[in-house]
Amino acid sequence: MGARCEIQKANLDETDIRLTLERLLQDKQGRHAKISSLRREPSPFATLFPAEVLSVSFESGDELSLFVKHLGPEQSDHPDKQRRDRETRVYEELLGADNLPVPRYYGSNWNETTKRREIFLEYIDDWNLKYHDLEYWFIAARRLAQFHAYFATRAEKLLACDFLLRFDTSYLYEWADRALSVLRDQSEELAAELTLAVGSYDRVAEILARQPLTLAHNDLAPKNVLADRSTNPARICFVDWEMAGVGCGLMDLVELKYGLDPVNDQKMRMVYCAELAGTDLLPSCPEDRSSLFAACELSQTVYRLAHSKSWNLPTARVAQWVSEARQLVMRI
């Protein structure tokens, strides 16, 4: 009896997802698309949220592969994830233009049974940057610069989006306070060292807050950058927009290149900066640009320190980050 119920539930889920897909595709393409078959497979790259890949065949003979992300209550206590509708609205209201480095968005649906928001995206049949050679990282840096330049001309529209985070001085101070609080629970000595480092955080916040505004991803680790090598050059797609906001775009590059060796770190910087040459998105003065990079890197270090306890990091790693924070202050 239990097995029969599970089969009935699976059939119901498939019927629901067929109807949802047909409705979304009709809204997107303006024509009715009847699905003839549907295959569902769990995505091997699902991390925080459940995800699956849909292989869809239509009565017309067309085929389509979709990535479905099932947004739920995971990490709902994260300070940057209080707006659970943020990713959906970013796709719907901001990322619809052609030639942006994002997967195509087909729509979303609230699943009353699972109590999850389902986001339907184009399936990119390739890997993220963690599994790619560095040449694709440099392509990603160039596309990131182009992305930031595109949205820098749309700052007024971004500021009107109440679902986006604001990477202003208040935001930066809040994460510095969280980092200090976390370190006090682990080591008074390390907390004292970090206090010295962020004692001049006014300067850091001021540098970052005065930069031209753009749309910032705010979690652009290599795992959130797909590179489709079926095209030449490879097509880059930034994914997972749950923590997107308005602020200094260079923060994204600093997150993306974190952990690279010095030579390739410098190459990433050069590619990004060269793409923005002649714009006002980066300081023209080399000293000011160096200070801006250091301010971004310090902010990212403080953010990681704020998560060090929840990530169960060893004290040695935390101490290394505190030391890096003090060194970065000297460069600002």
With a CB cutoff of 8 Å and minimum separation 6, the contacts of 300 are 251, 254, 255, 258
Q: Which residue, chain included where needed, has tokens 């569902």?
A: 40
Same domain, 182 and 327: yes
By residue range, what is the domain housing residue 81?
A: 2-122
Claim to verify: residue 28 and residue 140 sit in the same structural domain: no
Tokens for 222, please give them. Answer: 């290599």
Give the chain's domain count: 2
As a dihedral over the C-alpha atoms of residue 81, residue 179, residue 310, residue 119, rounded to 10 degrees, the angle is: 20
How do the pLDDT tens digits run along the chain, 332 residues long?
444 343 334 444 788 888 899 999 888 777 788 999 999 999 887 888 999 999 999 999 999 999 999 999 999 899 999 999 999 999 999 999 999 999 999 999 998 888 999 999 999 999 999 999 999 999 999 999 999 999 999 999 999 999 999 999 999 999 999 999 999 999 999 999 999 988 878 889 999 999 999 999 999 999 999 999 999 999 999 999 999 999 999 999 999 999 999 999 999 999 999 999 999 999 999 999 999 999 999 999 999 999 999 999 999 999 999 999 999 998 88
Choose one of 122, 157, 177: the last residue of a domain: 122
| pLDDT at site 2 | 42
Do 255 and 279 belong to one domain?
yes
Given this model, what pLDDT does residue 11 score? 44
pLDDT of residue 6: 38
27 and 100 housed in the same domain = yes
pTM: 0.93
Alpha helices in 30-108 (DSSP H): 86-93
What is the domain-level CATH number for residue 307? 3.90.1200.10
Q: Given this model, what pLDDT does residue 27 score?
A: 82
Q: Residue 15 is part of a domain; what is its CATH number? A: 3.30.200
- Angstrom distance (rounded) from CA 128 to CA 224: 7
The pLDDT of residue 197: 87
Give pLDDT, residue 308.
Answer: 96
Give the model's pLDDT for residue 8: 39
Among 106, 122, 138, the domain boundary falls at 122
Say whether both 113 and 134 belong to one domain.
no
